[in-house]
Structure 1
Amino acid sequence: MKHLILCLGLSGALSLPTLAQQTAPSGSALIMTQARHDILGGNFVGYQQQALPLLPRLLPPSSRAAYDQLLAGLITTGLEAPEEVLNTFLEQHPSSLDRERAQLLMASAYISKGQLLQARGLLERIDLRGLSEAEQAEREVYLGYITLCKPTPRHPIREARPHLERAIISNSLWGEQALLLIAALEWHEDNTPQAQHLLSERRWSKALAPEVAYLKALIGFQTKSPEEAIQQTLLAGLKYPELLKRPRLMGTLGRAYEHEGDEAAAREYLLPLLQQGDLLPEEAYTLATILYKSKDYDGARKALALATSSTHEVGALAHILQGNMRLEAGERSQALLAFGAAAGHPGATPQAREYAIYNSIKASSGGAASDFGHSLRLYEQYLKEFADSPRHREVYDELADQLALSKDYAASLDVIKRLDNPPASILHTQQYILCRLGELYIQQEKPELWQRYLNEAIKLGDQGLYYTEALALSARMHLSRGAYTEARDAARLALKKAQASSLGRGILHYILGYAQYNLGAYPEADRAFAQFETLATDPALRSDAQLRRGDCALVALGPSAEAIQHYSKANDLVEGGNAEALYRLQHLYGRRSDYAQQISTINQLLSKHPRAPFVAEALYDKGRAQILSGQSNSEAEESFREIERRFPHSREARLASLERAMLHYNASRAEEAIAIYKRVIADHPTTAEARTALADLKNIYTAQSRMDEYMSYAEALGAGLKPSDEEAGHLLFLSAQNQHLQGHASSIRALQGFVQRFPSHQDTDKARLMLAKDLLATGQATEALPLLSQLNRAETEAALRLEALELLADYQYKQEQGREALASYRALYAFPDLSLGERQRAGLLVARLALKEGDPALSAQMAEQTLNLKPLSQEMQDELTLIRGKASEAQNKSNEAAKIYSSLDKRLDSPYGAEAYHSRARIAYASGRVSEAKKLLEQFIAQGSTQQYWMARSFILLSDCYMMLGDRYAAEQYISSLKENYQGDEEDIAQMINQRMQLFNKQ
């Protein structure tokens, strides 16, 4: 019968380097336990054609013509169809004496093809009486081998050993084979002395001598020094050269040479295994360290790709080496991902884990890169997990620095709150973060949040500069909300601290002054503003402080010289003068009856500040001063006429008309006075000035005995003892208006009744607007929209028409009626009496909607026009710039779009700046400039942004870049890190992460 040599595929593996020093231990520790699990590999000589010529010498002489024909058939056909030949023999010769031998040969064929279940079933059915003693040993070796290979037995060695022990009693090659396998099993079960005894107790046949030498060489690496083991293996290699070509022995030699410091020899044995893809993780790690030292980073990366697949400690150490290598190459983000993988590796020892987390901390410290709070959690994890480490205080101090750099304030604050007994450096940083959160929510106009965080900062006590800052911010915001007592108290407390700069102390005095001023504590306010002036340098703020000091003096002393001095200084402090100071001065001069000085001051105000908000009042005061100073009536009348021309709808214009009428009457021009009074009544019939005009008109007619004429006029107006229809309508309107302003549910019914009864009243359009507002507020848009459309006509008062158009446009926008809203906002933008802020908002919305509705040309045009409406808030400027970029991109002008996006590079903390930067990278990626896109994204991540959504999108695009560049490892690490650490709940982010994870799993 033929023989079967089961080659011992034992993998020799050197132990892993220690954490502190990458050197291997010596002596018996050179072979890991894992090496003993690879006892029976697939590299055995079984049913193969070259074994067939040996078979006749192993068979006992017998009458076996049919069996000889079977062997001849096998030799002829080779390995292509052995089952067919054997089955044919068994079917044609069911009673052959060689039937059991044929079945044994058939089992060998099954084993050689890996069909172990079929082989076992066949072997168990063989009648042992038909086999010779050598063939029975062969059968037992087969059964032992199958048991070792099967994954199902709980104790495969225990079950295989009886088969092998029954085989060793045979003096055949099979008994010798069984003994060799038992020696291998003894070594596998840590009974090395017994294994050595079995290997040395007999003289081995030539067929198995190489396998014995192979096993002895592997055991030598466990029992001897590396130098002795190497020498023994090389001597065996001289006798059996093919041994030195076996992968596991090559790997073991390579690791041993590396341990002995002969990296050239180690590389000679390990590098071919890398090229063949036959390295164990431990061997791959050893080779990676050698290649890394020789600056062969590409080769080291390939070796590490194999080493990191290990679930044992070497996998964790491979990730650490990967991180060190990435860090040395300047690839900081990839290094952090590698260290993170090492820390989370299932085989990482506590020492390796500490090293990985500490390296992550050191690599991430000093940067502002966004990782969704992951690096902060590493600090927290290190401090809790390695509380006894000598690096504990160092890590605390670095954490304080990192927390101060991080822009993910909420995550930083959560980390601090979870720390036990944090040192002063952490508390100082905590106060800083609370101040930044307070600022953030001040910008977002969320008072409940900024107040909460600033109060928390103040409760920490005096931890340094940021305690004063928290008090100053709190004082400023309390002042802006009218909480003057709280503002005063916070400012006072902050001023007691010495940390504030002179400028900061000045601002605190300024806030304190305003708080005291609004609380009516004028002397205290004056002292605070005086202190501010000694510290401040900004002319505008110093001018404002002088104004308030003037107000304080005016309240305390009346129209005094001291008040005049403060107002004059306020005017002189700023280039071009201070309009409010001049207005206060002229009013003060009027109270002192210094009309010449009053008129001169008013002229100065009108000349230097023609658009000041109180020009109409100043002109009226000028006219009154001209009358009171005895100047000609024509000069006073000209002042009053100027008010009527420039401010026809203002109260001052109506008062000016009354003054002109009185001037004409006093000059005996009663008809001119009557005409003016009637025009006031006709143009402004519901105003107090109209009632004054009617009373004065009545007096003129009475003085001239023209009562019938007055009564006829009054009848035409509906005047008399009972209210006229107009007056009745106005009273009804005022009632409905009052209900509307108070939010009564009955206001809709009242306003509807007024509109139906008085469809053409002077207050009807106002009522329609109020009714539309109430209907919209109660969800009755169907009834509200026609009212708004009615108001959008030329004869409607401009202010009412404007407000109606704004309501209509805003409703259409909220209801996503894109085309309709676009038309309404375009009409609003073109409205002549629109304020600057309203026109800017309308322009922004036209640009935004035009882009959404597929008209990028209009969007770009409107964005550019609106950007020219100065001054413009930073946020609106950012969004309009982003829209311009999107519009260019929609018109296939990618280069122009990228250039526009780049203008927002310094605005990465705004949502528009972050999106613009990501869009630049996306354009580069889509245009095939993958390296450029990668560089942009890495710069974005390194600089960091509070816009976590766009940071997550950038992680995903950066992963795509690495895939395109062939670095699958970095690509997968970015997506894995994002999946584990990103806290957002956006569906598109989750979908993109899952798509890429599925792609990685398929590859």
Structure 2
Amino acid sequence: MIIRYFQIFAILVVLSLCGQRVSAQVPHDQPTAEQKLMKGIELFEKELYGSAIQLFDEIVLYHKRVGFNDISADAEFYAAISALQLDNQDAEYRIVNFIKRNPESPRIQRACFFMGQYKYDEQEWESAVYWFGRVERYRLERQERSEYYFKQGYAWLMLEEEEKANKLFYELLDFPESDYYGPGVYYYSHIEYTRGNYETALKGFKALKEDPTFSPIVPYYMAHIYFLQQKYDKVISYVPTIINEVTPKRKAEMQRMLGNAWFKQANYDSARVYLEKYKESTDNFKRYDLYQLAYSYYQTGAYEKAANNFSLITSKQDSLSQNANYHMAASYLKQGDKKNAHLAFGSASRMSFNDKIKEDALFNYAKLTYELSFAPFDETIRIFHSYLDQYDNSDRSDMIYNYLVDVYMTSKNYRRALESIDKIKQKNRQVTNALQKVAFYRGIELYNNLKYADAIAMFDKSLGAGGNDAQLISLARYWKAECLFREKKYDQAIQHYKQYLTTPGAYSTSYYNLTNYNVAYSFFKQAEYNAASIWFRKYIDNADSAITRILYDATVRLGDSYFVQRKYNQALLAYKDATKIPVEENDYAIFQQGFTAGVLHNYKQKIDVLIPLTTRESSLLADDALFETGQAYIQLNKPAQGIAQFEKLIREYPRSNYMKKSHLQAGLMYFNMGDNEKAADHFKYLIEHHKGSDEYGEALVALKNIYLDQNKVDEYFSYAKKLNINISSNEQDSLLYLSAEKAYLNGEAEHSRELFNEYLTRFADGQFTLKAHFYLAQSLFNDENLDKAIPHYKYVIKQPLNSFTETALYNLATIYRDKSNASKAWEYYSRLEPIASNKRMLMESRVGQMRAAIKLEDYKKVEKAASQILITEKLPEEIAREARFNKARALEKLGRNTEALVQYRLVAQNLQTPQGAESKYAVARLEYEAGKTALAENEIQNFIKNGTPHQYWLGKSFLLLARIYQESGKAFQAKAYLQSIIDNYAIKDDGIIKEAEERLAEITTSEDVKFETGKDADLELEFDRNSKVDTTQLK
């Protein structure tokens, strides 16, 4: 552009030089300044700028000497412009210097204009607008002016001064012949487009429809403008005519516009066609586009696709998410999927952007919660109350109240249900009936968790509710009596059992006859044996023969009651009846039958009954039976047979409590038979191994008599001396011990301890040393002086097995358990197990071992002890549950997950207990860890359906279910379950809510990223300020 202008300008300069009078003489053989200037311009026109600059600089230098300023200014001007053309480093300096030195030159305007062009080409926008700003545009030619408007406008645009730029681009509308007209109109129209002046922009873009540079993009702008003007008919008619001519990227956007336009026209079939094409051809879709596609699916009956697409746009808290959740719920309902509909309605109800949607969603959420029995955190009651609080004037209020009463009647979270019912001020008959039922079941729940006092309060609440369910009234009285029995308040228990029996509706319950048994046991526990026998007989006479375990126990206890009253014949018949009842173990009944026969002096019958029991090696009463048959043979004057029984017991049951007595009885029998040597062997065993026992003293006397009969007194003294037996002090030994024992038995604890200590000081190795240590330990133990009791118990257990070993071991184990010394506790519990004399003590030893091993984190020992507990007969339900649960945990710790699952499943059958709830979660967790996510999900859904009062494990299960859904691509379901925890979980500080919030944020963030990867396409075109139209070819 600069060259063309200078061609014109050079002609003018030459013409002016021809008429100029030369004021200085030059040699005739040298060219004049004018000739040099003409030559320089000639070189300039030929674009030989370097040579031209050389001539122009010579002119400037010469004229500085002689003072020809006009020619010098022209040469200086041409030299600066030549430098610009060569992009020399001194070009800008030359221009600036020219302007400074020639302030009056008419060429300054043109110098500024050329400088502006130069800075424009260099993209130095601030400098460009500076130099253009110094130009008086109306002194420019028309073509120069169009260039001036465009380039200055473009520079301002690059400086983000759209207002200034647009005014200059607007001027170009009057230059249709200019090469800058097209770019200028384009930028002007684009700016108007971005400002929302669509009609003005449209007019400009239409003017460019035939422009070869801009015609490819003009239809795209026009389509967008029609869309933004909401002229959907024009979009629908115009876009199809151009859609196949645009680029693939533009085609996707055209499809999007068509889909949107059809959607706005409520033509959902056409909308889904184009929106589907758009979704298939790009990853840069917006949430609202997905909403339109999902809604089009919904309106055209494609409910599964609708739900899937709605679920993708619910990550944000906005009106779009609320609407999407609501219609997703409707889509699920159309498919009959109430579970997912319930979750979606819940999500919609938590947002308040559209109150109409919120109300309807909240109602449907509550209704589906009720219908699905989905209330793990008691959502149903809370949601119904929330609805009533927010929409108390709703037409649905009556319906809600009816639902609410039904919920109270069926709620499994009885504690929360009670809290809710208590808030109702005016309780009608439906509510009082609900209160009666809910309080009753809350009482049962507390009873199962061994909280008997709290359970009693609930049964009283049920009884005082004013409900009209007679059977519930009777049952509340029954279970209140059960609680009192468990608390050992037997008189009160009897009173309430009897009230239950006389309550209308009691007879039709399954507990009616069982109550006779319970009353009998209450009397039995208080040693009121006559009353007990009457009530046991009532139970037996009305018992269902199928309930063999209780019938057996009642019959045995009837026998016991008769026996204690010395009604031996009746006792014998009762025990005999008990042996006929088909139970797994009837050892006790057999033994008592034989023993009672002996009391009645029917020794042959006693032997006949007991002999079979002596061969039952697994029976805890086999050693008892052996001893009693031995005693019976003695009574029948059959000492040899009696001795055989005693010696069999000694051989086969060396740890039996009857072992010492068997030695004594065998020794006495041998002595009576004249076999003094064998008699002495038995007596010496007792003297040497069981000093301090009752049998020790008798053995010592019997041995002395043997030596006296044989006239071997010296040998007796010699034997006694060898064993450090002080024969002369025995009487003093006995008197001091007996006085201490008498004080102990009379309850004079402190005095007895003084006497026992005195005895042990004086007779450290006396014949009653063992007893003194034991009774002193017992006295200290009973007064909770445990540290002082320990050494005395330890003395007892160091002695050979004796009648005190069992109690001493048990009490030592108890002391160390309470001291949290698990290692010592386990040691003594484990030593107790092999010598346990009855099933209760056997169970105590095994349970103690298990609990101590848990604290020691020795899972092999835990598993072993728990397994032993589970094979113990007549195991209380709560102990069996604890053992099975601990066995499961131990197996899991040992890496035997398959076996652990078996145990966990058994414990999880009762979700009302804490172990059952934790086990249910453990089953799901182990299935998940094994990759069996479908099984894990089923376990959790079953857990949710059945409910539990133990929220923590249900909360953990919800978190696990959310993880399963998240990992399987079901983000909506995952978020819904996490939100359910946040909204409904009652415990605020156990970490469940915090984890749910963190996980929900994590999922939401990951969903947001999906819409942020790459450019988020918009209906509006973005203007790239760093781009510019190529104007290098514009003339």
TM interval, shorter chain, is 0.5 to 0.7
The alignment status of 1:417 with 2:417, answered yes or no, reads no
1:767/1:84 Cα in 2 relative to 1: closer, same or farther (>3 Å)? farther
What is aligned with 1:876? Answer: 883
1:377, CA displacement in angstroms? 1.9
Instruction: State whether residues 267 and 290 of structure 1, in contact with CA within 8 Å, keep that contact through their aligned partners in structure 2.
Output: yes
What is aligned with 2:269? Answer: 264
SS at match of 1:372: coil
Could you tell me which of 929, 933, 954 is aligned with 2:957? 954
1:905/1:534 Cα in 2 relative to 1: closer, same or farther (>3 Å)? closer
1:878, CA displacement in angstroms? 3.3
CA deviations on 1:928-947 (whole Å, 9 max, x unpaired) are 66666556555554555555
Report the Cα distance in structure 1 between the residues aligned to 2:998 and 2:154, rounded to whole angstroms: 46
1:492/1:265 Cα in 2 relative to 1: closer, same or farther (>3 Å)? same
Instruction: State whether residues 737 and 767 of structure 1, in contact with CA within 8 Å, keep that contact through their aligned partners in structure 2.
Output: no
Name the TM-score, length of structure 2 as normaliser: 0.63
What is aligned with 1:491? Answer: 497
Q: Report the AA paired with residue 354 of structure 1.
A: E
What does 1:753-832 correspond to in 2, within 5 Å? 763=769, 767=773, 800=805, 807=812, 811=816, 824=827, 828=831
1:473, CA displacement in angstroms? 2.1
Report the Cα distance in structure 1 between the residues aligned to 2:681 and 2:258, rounded to whole angstroms: 118
The alignment status of 1:539 with 2:544, answered yes or no, reads no
Task: Identify unmatched segments of 5+ residues in structure 2.
Answer: 1-106, 174-186, 208-218, 1007-1035
Report the Cα distance in structure 1 between the residues aligned to 2:808 and 2:146, rounded to whole angstroms: 105
What is aligned with 1:339? Answer: 345
SS at match of 1:476: helix
Q: Give the structure with higher Rg (CA).
A: 2
What does 1:650-661 correspond to in 2, within 5 Å? none
1:484, CA displacement in angstroms? 2.4
1:813/1:93 Cα in 2 relative to 1: closer, same or farther (>3 Å)? farther
The alignment status of 1:454 with 2:462, answered yes or no, reads no
1:722, CA displacement in angstroms? 8.6
Could you tell me which of 357, 362, 373 is aligned with 2:362? 357
Instruction: State whether residues 310 and 325 of structure 2, in contact with CA within 8 Å, keep that contact through their aligned partners in structure 1.
Output: no
Q: Report the AA paired with residue 538 of structure 2.
A: A
1:928/1:483 Cα in 2 relative to 1: closer, same or farther (>3 Å)? closer
1:778/1:254 Cα in 2 relative to 1: closer, same or farther (>3 Å)? farther
1:631/1:308 Cα in 2 relative to 1: closer, same or farther (>3 Å)? closer
1:573/1:906 Cα in 2 relative to 1: closer, same or farther (>3 Å)? closer
What is aligned with 2:128? Answer: 85
Instruction: State whether residues 441 and 450 of structure 1, in contact with CA within 8 Å, keep that contact through their aligned partners in structure 2.
Output: yes
Instruction: State whether residues 737 and 759 of structure 2, in contact with CA within 8 Å, keep that contact through their aligned partners in structure 1.
Output: yes
1:299/1:751 Cα in 2 relative to 1: closer, same or farther (>3 Å)? farther
Q: Report the AA paired with residue 290 of structure 1.
A: S
SS at match of 2:450: coil
Report the Cα distance in structure 2 between the residues aligned to 1:735 and 1:434, rounded to whole angstroms: 51
Instruction: State whether residues 247 and 279 of structure 1, in contact with CA within 8 Å, keep that contact through their aligned partners in structure 2.
Output: no
1:869/1:362 Cα in 2 relative to 1: closer, same or farther (>3 Å)? same
1:217/1:794 Cα in 2 relative to 1: closer, same or farther (>3 Å)? same
1:238/1:655 Cα in 2 relative to 1: closer, same or farther (>3 Å)? closer
SS at match of 1:983: coil
What is aligned with 1:320? Answer: 326
The alignment status of 1:378 with 2:387, answered yes or no, reads no
1:993/1:651 Cα in 2 relative to 1: closer, same or farther (>3 Å)? closer
Instruction: State whether residues 519 and 535 of structure 2, in contact with CA within 8 Å, keep that contact through their aligned partners in structure 1.
Output: no
SS at match of 1:412: helix
Instruction: State whether residues 346 and 365 of structure 2, in contact with CA within 8 Å, keep that contact through their aligned partners in structure 1.
Output: yes
CA deviations on 1:272-291 (whole Å, 9 max, x unpaired) are 77677898877754542221
Report the Cα distance in structure 1 between the residues aligned to 2:370 and 2:358, rounded to whole angstroms: 18
Report the Cα distance in structure 1 between the residues aligned to 2:674 and 2:240, rounded to whole angstroms: 140
What does 1:477-516 correspond to in 2, within 5 Å? 477-495=483-501, 496-498=503-505, 501=508, 503-516=510-523
The alignment status of 1:965 with 2:965, answered yes or no, reads no
1:108, CA displacement in angstroms? 7.1
Report the Cα distance in structure 1 between the residues aligned to 2:154 and 2:667, rounded to whole angstroms: 128
Task: Identify unmatched segments of 5+ residues in structure 1.
Answer: 1-61, 138-172, 185-198, 222-228
Instruction: State whether residues 376 and 945 of structure 2, in contact with CA within 8 Å, keep that contact through their aligned partners in structure 1.
Output: no
Count residues in correspondence: 849
1:263, CA displacement in angstroms? 1.9
Q: Report the AA paired with residue 979 of structure 1.
A: I
What does 1:143-542 correspond to in 2, within 5 Å? 253-258=261-266, 262-267=267-272, 285-292=291-298, 293-295=300-302, 297-298=304-305, 301-303=308-310, 305-306=312-313, 309=316, 311-312=318-319, 315-326=321-332, 334-349=340-355, 351-365=356-370, 367=372, 371-387=376-392, 392=397, 395=400, 398-399=403-404, 407-421=412-426, 424=429, 427-428=432-433, 430-460=435-465, 462-495=468-501, 496-498=503-505, 501=508, 503-516=510-523, 520=528, 522=530, 526=534, 529-530=537-538, 533-537=541-545, 538-542=547-551
What is aligned with 1:50? Answer: none
Report the Cα distance in structure 2 between the residues aligned to 1:570 and 1:775, rounded to whole angstroms: 39
SS at match of 2:469: coil
Report the Cα distance in structure 1 between the residues aligned to 2:202 and 2:975, rounded to whole angstroms: 52
1:345, CA displacement in angstroms? 0.2
Q: Report the AA paired with residue 982 of structure 1.
A: Y
Report the Cα distance in structure 2 between the residues aligned to 1:413 and 1:897, rounded to whole angstroms: 37
> Which shows bigger deviation, 928-937 or 451-460?
928-937
The alignment status of 1:569 with 2:577, answered yes or no, reads yes
Report the Cα distance in structure 2 between the residues aligned to 1:897 and 1:865, rounded to whole angstroms: 16
Report the Cα distance in structure 2 between the residues aligned to 1:550 and 1:776, rounded to whole angstroms: 33
What is aligned with 1:9? Answer: none
Report the Cα distance in structure 1 between the residues aligned to 2:420 and 2:113, rounded to whole angstroms: 83
Report the Cα distance in structure 2 between the residues aligned to 1:110 and 1:449, rounded to whole angstroms: 84
Name the TM-score, length of structure 1 as normaliser: 0.64
Report the Cα distance in structure 2 between the residues aligned to 1:590 and 1:67, rounded to whole angstroms: 139
What is aligned with 1:983? Answer: 986
Q: Report the AA paired with residue 895 of structure 2.
A: S
Report the Cα distance in structure 2 between the residues aligned to 1:675 and 1:999, rounded to whole angstroms: 83
What is aligned with 2:1033? Answer: none
Instruction: State whether residues 866 and 883 of structure 2, in contact with CA within 8 Å, keep that contact through their aligned partners in structure 1.
Output: no
What is aligned with 2:95? Answer: none
1:472/1:924 Cα in 2 relative to 1: closer, same or farther (>3 Å)? closer
Report the Cα distance in structure 1 between the residues aligned to 2:751 and 2:287, rounded to whole angstroms: 78
Q: Report the AA paired with residue 378 of structure 2.
A: G
1:574/1:232 Cα in 2 relative to 1: closer, same or farther (>3 Å)? closer
1:494, CA displacement in angstroms? 2.1
1:112/1:933 Cα in 2 relative to 1: closer, same or farther (>3 Å)? farther
CA deviations on 1:417-466 (whole Å, 9 max, x unpaired) are 33444555555554444444434443443333333333333333553543
Aligned CA-pair RMSD: 6.6
Report the Cα distance in structure 2 between the residues aligned to 1:654 and 1:927, rounded to whole angstroms: 57
Instruction: State whether residues 860 and 888 of structure 1, in contact with CA within 8 Å, keep that contact through their aligned partners in structure 2.
Output: no
Report the Cα distance in structure 1 between the residues aligned to 2:852 and 2:621, rounded to whole angstroms: 33
1:911, CA displacement in angstroms? 5.7
Task: Give identity over the alignment, percent.
Answer: 18
CA deviations on 1:822-851 (whole Å, 9 max, x unpaired) are 99589759967696435644774697578x
